[in-house]
């Protein structure tokens, strides 16, 4: 990804791109009075992620330069189009956050005008009726190396041409009897210019014009005219239309459109790994029942993504991250997921859900009929510290609980920090429990229940008898929780390029048989189990989920997994032998709960970081076996510093690292903070180098964390400092001074920025006050942007609250 495209407050800005530069230059030169773009889908399917990028580009350009963007249904082909597709497209574009205002057009409304232009072209000698067969026309075209030959009908008189065209229109001929062709250049090196067909006869019913027409215009003819009729200035399309630009210009000139007139610009179409962006193929998946419909959450359609819980903001962010270029590429699926997580992280509450429940009975906790102890309501925060939102919800604690099966191991692998027979674990927000007895099904030997003791004094965070408790796990009350269906979605295809198939195969061979796993006996806490369909939340340690709007019933919620917390896919693909990767069908399983995400990597997915973390695991295990000092550091980092195993692993993989950690902690005692920079950020910034090959020193990391902890530096400022440290070394405080990165907490300065932002979005302010409080995140993002990332998020949030509530 382009490193220059700085991100602030989690909102990438579009950054400069070549089409925007062209528009900017044209407006500067006064070539046009204003910018007019269009988004011209053919209503023959649902919009997909590729269209979303085109929508973002075209509507975004118009928005940015104060112009307009038309929504035009390119419905010139009678065979495939349907009104329901046109309707779904309008809904999707609105959902993405764009509006065409009064500028909704249908190419089919221009049929009469297009026909009149065709007669004009004949009169000017620029078009003729050809009566060769399709086959003859194709042969006459020649090849790339040989020029074409003129049709024997090329020199028909104007009168004869007009007569034939009128009779074609009147329905006197069968399909294929004649076509109208441009009289362009049969010797042109550009095959498209060899007298392209403009009209063909098709006795077909059109979904809007009915049986009014039996001749229909082809793309090259129709598209440029539609643009010209609508005074479009910049007609943006994908690269495969490169060769068509010449006929676009030729036809507009032949039809008498003079400057300022529309021009065509091409950019690379968006392809995303593990998905398809072809309406035809997506339609096949629907028709043949490989998915449940166009809005199946596995589909790369806008409707599918919406149902899966992806936000419009994430799709827009993703479009900006991908950027607008001239080079075809297949974008990492991880980049898409990163955009999704990055957006959800800042807006959704954290809750607890147990996907595969294992019963836990707290034997020393009062029985339900003991009214005093029936249900204990624990007030738990909804957001981690680094998310500028607040709120709590009551979580019921009872004698009977469920934990996730994966959080208990009878035979724990090395480094397992969750519940084991005889061991302790902390239940998130609640007590430390000890597992006293494992109850098994006598027939199958399967573990069916754990009998545990709880330690009443540990509710506020203490440990029993000062013992060290290593792990924290999530849980749900068995009696107060809500039973739920959870659908775990994965990539629809298991090949990065689904069309890469063996000879004789089809893209269907690459369907991922595990793209959907349905869990029928999950349990969620009441706060999320009883909320409105369409609500999103993070299930701690599991992923982001949305309450399905179609299939949830009262008392029986259905959750769709939007995205995992980390990219488990790459772990599985690249590290099948990794002991930690194998059970982690969902990400985060092996890791402990952390309250905040101080250094979530930017510019790469968490998945990249987690893959790097785990992919070297066997190497690091080897290094530790060979060097007892490293092995000692591994245990010390987990036991004394209380770091998650994944982090301790990376930090004890080499003497370099261990030394850096110790140097950092000698300066500033915040192990989690230090770990997150070295574990998550360093691999990205360092680009595969070892610590000593970069400028980064342990002491500097300690100082950096201390500047963050004392509020001098905000998230985004800290990232800038870190990348400078890696590149050139230096002292964090000096870098902060030099680069002007001191966090702005001063309330009058922040108020000024907040006021500026609120003044810029009066409608959003109204919507917020009318109850759309989810907009807070958007306002936060804008203030962060305004401040170049230096605004103090806590203080900013408080000021925003104050100003918006009044």
**Binding residues for ligand ATP (CB under 6 A):** 40-42, 50-51, 53-54, 74, 237-238, 269-270, 277-279
Task: Look at residue 653 and give the partner it binds from ligand ATP, Mg ion, none, a contact being a CB closer than 5 to 8 Å depending on partner kind.
Answer: none
Name every residue whose Cβ is closer than 8 Å to that of residue 450 and which is 6 or more positions away in sequence: 358, 359, 360, 361, 403, 408, 419, 435, 437, 438, 439
CB of residue 103 vs Mg ion: minimum separation in angstroms? 21
Residue 463 half-sphere exposure toward CB, CA atoms < 13 A: 12
Q: Which of the choices Mg ion, ligand ATP, none does residue 473 contact, using the CB cut-off of 5 to 8 A by kind?
A: none
Cα 360 to Cα 463: distance, rounded to the nearest angstrom: 20
Nearer to ligand ATP, 325 or 595 (CB): 325
Q: What are phi and psi of 579, to 5 degrees?
A: -60, -35
Residue 544 in contact with residue 562, Cβ under 8 Å? yes
Residue pair 572/589 in contact (Cβ under 8 Å)? The answer is: no
Measured from the CB atom, is 77 or 676 closer to ligand ATP? 77
Would you say 167 or 269 has its CB closer to ligand ATP?
Answer: 269
CB of 379: closest distance to ligand ATP in angstroms? Answer: 47
Closest CA relative to residue 209, chosen from 283, 90, 114: 114
Q: Least CB distance from residue 107 to Mg ion, whole Å?
A: 12
- Which lies closer to ligand ATP via its Cβ, residue 298 or residue 611? 298
- Closest contact distance (angstroms) between CB of 5 and ligand ATP is 19
Nearest CA-CA partner of 592 in 470, 422, 411, 412: 470
Contact 231, 36 (CB under 8 A): yes
Distance in Å, CB of 541 to ligand ATP, minimum:
35
Q: How far is CA 597 from CA 110, 345, 445, 673, in A?
A: 55, 9, 40, 10
Residue nearest to ligand ATP (CB): 50
Minimum Å distance from CB 279 to Mg ion? 7
**Token code pair at residue 61:** 């350009």
Q: Give catalytic residues, as residue numbers.
A: 42, 269, 279
Which one, 304 or 793, has the nearer CB to ligand ATP?
A: 304
Question: CB-wise, 237 or 707, nearer to ligand ATP?
Answer: 237
- Comparison of 85 and 402: residue with beta carbon closer to ligand ATP: 85
| From the list Mg ion, ligand ATP, none, partner contacted by residue 92 (C-beta under 5 to 8 A by kind) | none
Asked if residue 161 lies in contact with residue 129, where contact means CB atoms within 8 angstroms, the answer is yes
Q: From ligand ATP, Mg ion, none, which one binds at residue 277 (CB under 5 to 8 Å depending on kind)?
A: ligand ATP
Element holding 357 (H helix, E strand)? strand 357-362
DSSP secondary structure string for all residues of 564-584: -SS-HHHHHHH-TT-TTTTT-
Tell me the CB-side half-sphere exposure of residue 38, using CA atoms within 13 A: 29
Smallest gap from Cβ 86 to ligand ATP, in A, equals 11
Q: Least distance to ligand ATP from the beta carbon of 252, Å?
A: 18
Cβ-based nearer residue to Mg ion, 279 or 491: 279
Torsion of CA 294, 296, 302, 306, to 10 degrees: 140
- Cα 12 to Cα 181, 564, 664, 781, distances in angstroms: 47, 21, 31, 10
The secondary structure of residue 230, as a DSSP letter, is T
DSSP letter string, 113-182: HHHHHHHHHHHTTSEEEE-S-HHHHHHHT--SSS-----TTTT--HHHHHHHHHHHHHT-S-TTS-EEEE
DSSP state of 805: H
- Contact of residue 12 among ligand ATP, Mg ion, none (CB under 5-8 Å per partner type): none
Q: In this complex, which beta carbon is closest to ligand ATP, that of residue 54 or of residue 552?
A: 54
Partner touching 40 among Mg ion, ligand ATP, none, CB below 5 to 8 Å by kind: ligand ATP
DSSP E strand stretches across 289-328: none
Which listed option, Mg ion, ligand ATP, none, makes contact with residue 51 (CB within 5 to 8 Å by class)? ligand ATP
Closest to Mg ion by CB, 42 or 343: 42
Residue 463: contacted member of Mg ion, ligand ATP, none (CB under 5 to 8 Å, by partner type)? none
Which burial class, exposed, middle or buried, applies to 514 when counting CB atoms under 10 A from its CB (0-12, 13-18, 19+)? exposed
Return the one option of Mg ion, ligand ATP, none that residue 41 interacts with (CB less than 5 to 8 A, by type).
Answer: ligand ATP
State the burial class of residue 794 (Cβ atoms within 10 Å of its Cβ: 0-12, 13-18, 19+). middle
Q: How far is the CB of 406 from ligand ATP (least distance, A)?
A: 38
Residues that bind Mg ion (CB under 5 A): 42
Q: How far is the CB of 51 from ligand ATP (least distance, A)?
A: 5
- The nearest distance, CB 270 to ligand ATP, in angstroms, is 4
Those residues whose C-beta lies under 8 Å from the C-beta of residue 82, and which sit 6 or more positions away, are 43, 44, 207
Bond into 420 cis (ω within 30) = no
In the chain, what are the helix, strand and coil shares in percent, each to the nearest 5? 40, 20, 40
Question: Sign of dihedral through CA atoms 569, 571, 573, 578?
Answer: negative
Nearer to Mg ion, 42 or 313 (CB): 42
**Contact partner, 237, from Mg ion, ligand ATP, none, Cβ < 5-8 Å per class:** ligand ATP
Round to the nearest angstrom and report the end-to-end CA distance of the chain. Answer: 41
Q: Measured between alpha carbons, how far is 180 from 130 in angstroms, rounded to an integer?
A: 6
Which of ligand ATP, Mg ion, none interacts with 357 (beta carbon under 5 to 8 A by kind)? none
């Amino acid at each position: 990804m382009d490193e220059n495209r700085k991100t602030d407050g989690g909102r990438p800005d579009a950054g400069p791109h070549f089409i925007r530069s062209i528009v900017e230059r044209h407006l500067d030169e006064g070539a046009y009075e204003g910018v007019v773009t269009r988004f011209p889908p053919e209503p023959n399917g649902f919009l997909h992620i590729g269209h979303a990028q085109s929508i973002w580009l075209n509507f975004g350009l118009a928005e940015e330069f104060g112009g307009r963007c038309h929504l035009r249904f390119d419905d010139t082909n009678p065979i495939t189009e349907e009104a329901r597709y046109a309707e779904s497209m309008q809904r999707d574009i609105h959902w993405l956050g764009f509006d065409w205002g009064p500028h909704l057009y249908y190419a089919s409304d221009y049929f009469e005008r297009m026909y009149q232009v065709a007669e004009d072209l004949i009169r000017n000698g620029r078009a003729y009726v050809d009566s060769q067969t399709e086959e003859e026309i194709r042969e006459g075209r020649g090849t790339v190396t040989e020029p074409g030959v003129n049709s024997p009908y090329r020199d028909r008189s104007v009168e004869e041409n007009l007569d034939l065209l009128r009779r074609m229109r009147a329905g006197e001929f069968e399909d294929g009897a004649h076509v109208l062709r441009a009289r362009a250049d049969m010797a042109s090196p550009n095959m498209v210019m060899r007298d392209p067909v403009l009209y063909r006869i098709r006795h077909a019913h059109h979904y809007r014009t009915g049986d009014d027409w039996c001749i229909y215009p082809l793309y090259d003819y129709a598209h440029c005219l539609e643009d010209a009729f609508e005074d479009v200035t910049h007609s943006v399309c994908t690269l495969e239309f490169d060769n068509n630009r010449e006929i676009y210009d030729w036809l507009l000139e032949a039809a008498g459109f003079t400057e300022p007139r529309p021009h065509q610009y091409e950019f690379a179409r968006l392809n995303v790994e593990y998905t398809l962006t072809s309406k035809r193929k997506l339609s096949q998946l629907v028709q043949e029942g490989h998915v449940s419909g166009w809005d199946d959450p596995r589909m790369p359609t806008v409707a599918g993504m919406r149902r899966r819980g992806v936000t419009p903001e994430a799709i827009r962010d993703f479009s900006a991250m991908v950027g607008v270029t001239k080079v075809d590429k297949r974008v990492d699926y991880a980049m898409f997921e990163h955009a999704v997580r990055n957006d959800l992280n800042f807006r959704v509450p954290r809750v607890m859900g147990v996907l595969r429940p294992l019963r836990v009975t707290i034997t020393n906790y009062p029985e339900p009929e003991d009214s005093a102890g029936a249900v204990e309501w624990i007030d738990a925060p909804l957001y981690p510290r680094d998310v500028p939102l607040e709120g709590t919800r009551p979580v019921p604690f009872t004698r009977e609980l469920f934990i996730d099966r994966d959080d208990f191991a009878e035979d724990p692998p090395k480094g397992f920090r969750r519940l084991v027979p005889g061991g302790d674990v902390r239940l998130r927000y609640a007590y430390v429990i000890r597992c006293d007895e494992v109850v098994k099904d006598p027939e199958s030997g399967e573990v069916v229940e754990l009998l545990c003791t709880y330690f009443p004094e540990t509710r506020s965070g203490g440990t029993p008898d000062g013992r060290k408790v290593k792990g924290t796990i999530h849980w749900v009350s068995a009696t107060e929780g809500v039973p739920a269906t959870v659908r775990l979605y994965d990539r629809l295809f298991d090949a990065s390029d689904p069309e890469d198939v063996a000879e004789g195969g089809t893209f269907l061979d690459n369907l991922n048989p595990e793209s959907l796993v349905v869990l029928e006996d999950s349990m969620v806490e009441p706060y999320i189990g009883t909320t409105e369909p369409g609500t999103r939340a993070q299930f701690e340690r599991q992923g982001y989920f949305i309450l399905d709007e179609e299939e949830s019933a009262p008392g029986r919620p259905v959750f769709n997994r939007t995205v995992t917390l980390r990219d488990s896919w790459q772990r599985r693909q690249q590290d099948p032998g990794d002991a930690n990767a194998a059970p982690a069908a969902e990400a985060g399983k092996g890791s402990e709960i952390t309250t905040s995400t101080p250094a979530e990597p930017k510019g790469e997915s968490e998945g990249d970081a987690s893959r790097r973390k785990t992919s070297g695991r066997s190497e690091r295990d080897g290094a530790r076996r060979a060097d007892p000092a490293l092995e000692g550091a591994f245990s010390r980092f987990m036991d004394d510093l209380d770091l998650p195993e994944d982090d301790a692993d990376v930090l004890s993989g080499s003497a370099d690292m261990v030394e850096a950690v110790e140097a950092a902690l000698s300066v500033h005692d915040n192990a989690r903070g230090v770990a997150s920079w070295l574990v998550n950020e360093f691999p990205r910034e360092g680009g595969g180098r070892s610590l000593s090959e970069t400028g980064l020193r342990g002491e500097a990391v300690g100082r950096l964390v201390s500047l963050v902890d004392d509020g001098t530096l905000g998230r985004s400022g800290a990232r800038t400092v870190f990348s400078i440290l890696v590149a050139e070394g230096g002292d964090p405080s000096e870098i902060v001074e030099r680069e002007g990165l001191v966090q702005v907490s001063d309330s009058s300065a922040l108020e000024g920025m907040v006021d500026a932002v609120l003044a810029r979005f009066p409608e959003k302010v109204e919507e917020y006050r009318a109850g759309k409080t989810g907009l807070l995140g958007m306002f936060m993002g804008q203030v962060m942007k305004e401040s170049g990332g230096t605004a103090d998020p806590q203080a900013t949030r408080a000021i925003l609250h104050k100003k918006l509530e009044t």
